[in-house]
Structure 1
Amino acid sequence: MGKTSGAISAGHPKTAEAGARMFEEGGNAFDAILAAMCASCVVEPVLSSLGGGGFLLAHEQDQSPVLYDFFTQTPKQRRTDSEFYPILADFGTVTQEFHIGRGSIATPGVVKGLFEAHLELASLPMDVIVAPAIELARDGVHVNTMQAQIFDIVEAIFVASEDSKALYGSARNDRALLGEGEIQKNPDMANLFEALAKEGGELFYEGDIARLIENDSWDHGGHLSMADLKEYRVEKRTPLRVDYARSHFYTNPAPSTGGLLIAFALELIKTAGFRDLSFGSKDHVERLSQIMALTNKARLDAALVDGVEQAQLKMLDQDFLQLYRKEIYGRPTALRGTTHMSAIDKHGNAASLTTSNGEGCGHILPTTGVMLNNMLGEEDINPHGFNQWPTDTRMCSMMSPTLLLRDDGINVALGSGGSNRIRTAVLQVLVNLLEFGMNLEQAVAAPRMHFERGLLNIEPGYPQEALQTLNEHVPDHKVWDSPNLFFGGVHSVRANFNTGRFDGVGDFRRGGAAIIIDEHMDAS
């Protein structure tokens, strides 16, 4: 089988390389995205895990896109004596409290998502797809600058137990995690990938791994049972769609929130567009910050039917508003650490996948090398106190895997990590492509801003004139000294089916990488 032309981008060079290998093997975009997801569990362990959850937005040639929701589910039972405690993550200038322990683990969906998407979309066998991850886990990978920085932030989680310290502890400093340049290995995870390829996903949800999860959970203050695992289902949803000029935007629908908020903002931009403005102008900065502020208000149900923006809200039809109210309100929301990957191939297949492990529960599941998630440790889903979450409910997320399918034969797959900043990061790249006519590299590299809780955070790069006008309508703003992972990591790919050309960009803010495969040339 010959090569398949295509492109993949992801949050780590080795993640991207795993996907590119599938193109080299003659696989499609879905083979590539699944191989990349498996590799990310090895090389991006704080952000991605077989014990976490995620979303895949898949577009098969000449088919309507489909959203695979394999995000975490709250357990069926809630015990009162759970192992659940706070730690402080150190972001340098600020610290943030997270909650870990086995009582923070929600039912994971990544393995189920991997196998269901493989069955329905992939062209290569599972042992080929997991092979790069197995090699990385067994042979090891050098910790790069970005992963070392992330380890520093969540050090308190990854040194919370002896098993985690043994796996991720530094050989240079017994009080620290792996540093830049050190080799990170995970032979138990390599064995697990091999077992999954041979035995199938049932191993994780009904077999020995499921029993291991249940025993470890119930012996140490967790909520998960065999019933949680056995009855977990991937939800296939119709993506949210917004038609924008001659482009069609697809993203993660309710019950998750991020896609709805991006769509809401795009509906506003249809009327209050940017095409008469130049990027970085004072009018651009002012209008974008206003749209972000309005979208932020729309996150609360009351803001959808109240306030001076009522006239603008009317541009959204009532079905959309009712969906927002019905599907979002009352569901537990996870706003955690994430990573993203995008792939596209010559056949017209496109895949956008975002995954998360929260920050991790602090323990390694024995003999597997896997740290399960800590999604139940999110403060935002527990406004009345922790351990009050609704049982057996699919959690919603800001994760927004996105596809832009254009009538002119140019398709884009994109998405981002960055919890609350996902929606504004993806929105700004879309605006840069659609309104400002930027190429993909320019659209991702351009400076960003993010509005939340009355504060507008701004990356450097905007003209001083534009920033001065903010004092009038957004006096509470902060200009950062340099671009930062705070503003997301929009790893993107694009195919021009008129010319046969592929582009890919790994966002430098989060250590991203992109690889283009041409069936007539070597990888570049």
Structure 2
Amino acid sequence: MTVPAAIAAPNLAAAHAGRAVAHAGGNAVDIALAAMLTAMTNEPGLVSSMGSAFITVWTAGEEPEVIDGNVVMAGLGRPRSAFGGGLHEVTSTYGGGVRLMAGHGSVAVPGAWSGMGTAHERHGRVDWSEVLAPAIAQAREGYRLGPAAATYLALVGHDIYGWCEDSAALLVPGGRVVEAGELIRDEPLAQTYEHIARVGWRDVYTGEIGRRMVADMDAHGGLVSTQDLERFAAQVRDPLRLDVGAWDLATNPPPSVGGPMLALMLGALTRRARADWSDIIDIQRRVLGYRVGHHDVSPDLEEAGWRALEAAQRYGLAGLPTSPSTAHVSVVDAEGNACAFTASSGYGSGAVVPGTGLQLNNSLGELELNRLGVHALPPGAPLASNMAPTVGRTPDGRVLAIGSPGADRITTALMQVLGQGCLHEAPLQQAVDAPRVHVQVGGALGGTVVVDHESDPGIEAAIAASGLPGHDHGPRSMYFGGVGAAYRREDGALEAAGDPRRAGAALVTG
């Protein structure tokens, strides 16, 4: 029996995968998993199943929860001499300049399979094999490379994906980076998914796939060990709750960074009521300045997150001290179940588990998420994450699932879309389409503050009034994320909104 649902996904094939599972009787969680697994297949470079996953679920009549499948620091049982190796530096012009580390030493313990498996075991309705079927078909039959992945690969294809034989065969064949519209088939990945569908997701950690991964790490200076994989388990957490207008929102709690920063921004936006562009720039500058100068260099991200939220609750933003690669799926079904699922593999390490097609993350090499230094955390420690998949409800029966890719632009994109939608009742697609700003503090620009923005006269006037330099990325730039939202109105009608910045797809099943 088909379950009507609103689906927002990174591309049309991923949305169609969700629809196929809806037709098979799947609920919002099943649909979201199938859509994301398909995106993990046909968005190479942007996301893979061997990275992080945060899945926020709010089933009808129950309390919301966050399934935390974040990556953690690797190296349990490894000698101290192993740390600091297996890395090579890559500099990209993406977003105005990004420096990162790739190679086997950049790979953190992957959490996405544990997160997805846990979500399915707790909330899924159809068989696990049914959830994987669309991704298997996509890998075997082939897909046309989309514009978002093609844009990214054009910038980093040789440096990140050209050095590993398996990656190069898929994405840099014959030394030429694949381009938008090219047909890509990935039979090794199709066979791996079939194996996982048959024997279960735990094989990634304690079975043949896990053994292959560790052997490859041993051979190339990586840190992920047998102990790392055997001890990893996704965590089920109580979400961070906040009231925004009529909405009760639930998002990613500490030790995530994305959820707390989003909550700080939305709380300040709520207190300022009819906020204009100047308010948005000021709020972002304060919150992101606090994040770069204090939060991200804390040795305990969980404690730091709760402490910042408490300070802001008491004193507003005055209480704070001063100083690319993700994908998102949102689903709301007719029964009122909501699932917001954000996944990331960082910028990609270039490494592949040999013979499997599984592209490995470079989360240890994302310098903006490792401000204490590469390989500085103790093994088992969670890495910082910008991801903030969010679900919400109102007393009159409305239901929302929303999230975005986009590294540190995730929180600022969601702040603006949720601010317009929850505080000012803007139509869903209009809120997603509206121009965006992002205050960049430090990072690639060496400690300066710059307002990145899309072309808009009102934004330009606010930047001029602030006295800060601005960087115009043009209209609807991929740099500003790719918000996907699914919505059930108070009368039960369903709608979804995809972001034109990343060719996002939105559809409603019937």
What TM-score does the superposition give when structure 2 sets the normalisation length?
A: 0.90
User: Any gaps of 5 or more consecutive residues in structure 1?
Assistant: 278-283, 305-311, 326-335, 519-524
Match in the other structure for 1:191: 191
Partner of residue 508 from structure 1, selected from 476, 500, 503: 500
Show CA shifts across 1:218-277 (max 9, x none): 111111111110110111111001123321111100001111111111221222111xx6
Alignment of 1:62-73 (within 5 A): 62-73=61-72
SS at match of 1:216: helix
Return the alpha-carbon distance in structure 1 between the equivalents of residues 172 and 265 of structure 2: 43
Match in the other structure for 1:226: 226
Counterpart contact for 2:43–2:146, Cα < 8 Å: no
Letter in 1 for 2:64: P
Match in the other structure for 1:378: 366
Counterpart contact for 2:43–2:145, Cα < 8 Å: no
Match in the other structure for 2:421: 433
Change (3 A) 1:385 1:115: closer
Counterpart contact for 2:369–2:384, Cα < 8 Å: no
Letter in 1 for 2:464: N
Q: CA deviation at 1:434?
A: 2.1
Match in the other structure for 1:133: 135
User: Any gaps of 5 or more consecutive residues in structure 2?
Assistant: 297-308, 442-448
Match in the other structure for 1:110: 112
Return the alpha-carbon distance in structure 1 between the equivalents of residues 58 and 211 of structure 2: 35
Match in the other structure for 1:253: 253
Match in the other structure for 2:244: 244
Return the alpha-carbon distance in structure 2 between the equivalents of residues 378 and 227 of structure 1: 23
Larger mean Cα displacement after TM superposition, 288-297 or 124-133: 288-297
Return the alpha-carbon distance in structure 1 between the equivalents of residues 468 and 293 of structure 2: 26
Partner of residue 168 from structure 1, selected from 167, 171, 176: 171
Q: CA deviation at 1:341?
A: 0.6
Letter in 2 for 1:361: S
Alignment of 1:195-344 (within 5 A): 195-274=195-274, 284-299=276-291, 316-317=313-314, 336-344=324-332
Change (3 A) 1:285 1:481: same
Show CA shifts across 1:257-298 (max 9, x none): 111111111221222111xx6xxxxxx111111111122233
Show CA shifts across 1:401-446 (max 9, x none): 0112112211111101111100000010001112332110100001
Show CA shifts across 1:97-149 (max 9, x none): 22111111110011111211111110000111100000000010011222211
Return the alpha-carbon distance in structure 1 between the equivalents of residues 326 and 386 of structure 2: 10
Match in the other structure for 1:308: none
Show CA shifts across 1:196-228 (max 9, x none): 111112211111111111111011111111111
Identity of aligned residues (%): 30
SS at match of 1:403: strand
Return the alpha-carbon distance in structure 2 between the equivalents of residues 436 and 198 of structure 1: 48
Letter in 2 for 1:507: D
Return the alpha-carbon distance in structure 1 between the equivalents of residues 65 and 373 of structure 2: 36
Alignment of 1:336-485 (within 5 A): 336-383=324-371, 385-453=373-441, 454-463=449-458, 467-485=460-478
Change (3 A) 1:380 1:300: closer
Counterpart contact for 1:381–1:389, Cα < 8 Å: no
Return the alpha-carbon distance in structure 1 between the equivalents of residues 367 and 312 of structure 2: 33
SS at match of 1:316: helix
Return the alpha-carbon distance in structure 2 between the equivalents of residues 133 and 17 of structure 1: 11
Counterpart contact for 1:7–1:20, Cα < 8 Å: no
Q: CA deviation at 1:382?
A: 4.6
Change (3 A) 1:410 1:366: same
Return the alpha-carbon distance in structure 2 between the equivalents of residues 472 and 103 of structure 1: 45
Change (3 A) 1:153 1:272: same
Letter in 2 for 1:129: V
Q: CA deviation at 1:461?
A: 3.0
Two-structure CA RMSD over aligned residues (Å): 2.4
Letter in 1 for 2:477: N
SS at match of 1:361: coil
2:484 counterpart of 1:491: yes
Q: CA deviation at 1:169?
A: 2.7
What TM-score does the superposition give when structure 1 sets the normalisation length?
A: 0.88
Return the alpha-carbon distance in structure 2 between the equivalents of residues 294 and 359 of structure 1: 27
SS at match of 2:408: helix
Change (3 A) 1:166 1:512: same
SS at match of 1:198: helix
Task: State how many pairs are aligned.
Answer: 484
Counterpart contact for 2:370–2:383, Cα < 8 Å: no
SS at match of 1:419: coil
Letter in 2 for 1:316: Q
Q: CA deviation at 1:185?
A: 1.0
Change (3 A) 1:461 1:468: closer
Change (3 A) 1:246 1:94: closer
Match in the other structure for 1:52: 51
Counterpart contact for 1:53–1:110, Cα < 8 Å: yes
Counterpart contact for 2:73–2:383, Cα < 8 Å: yes
SS at match of 1:51: coil
Match in the other structure for 1:148: 150
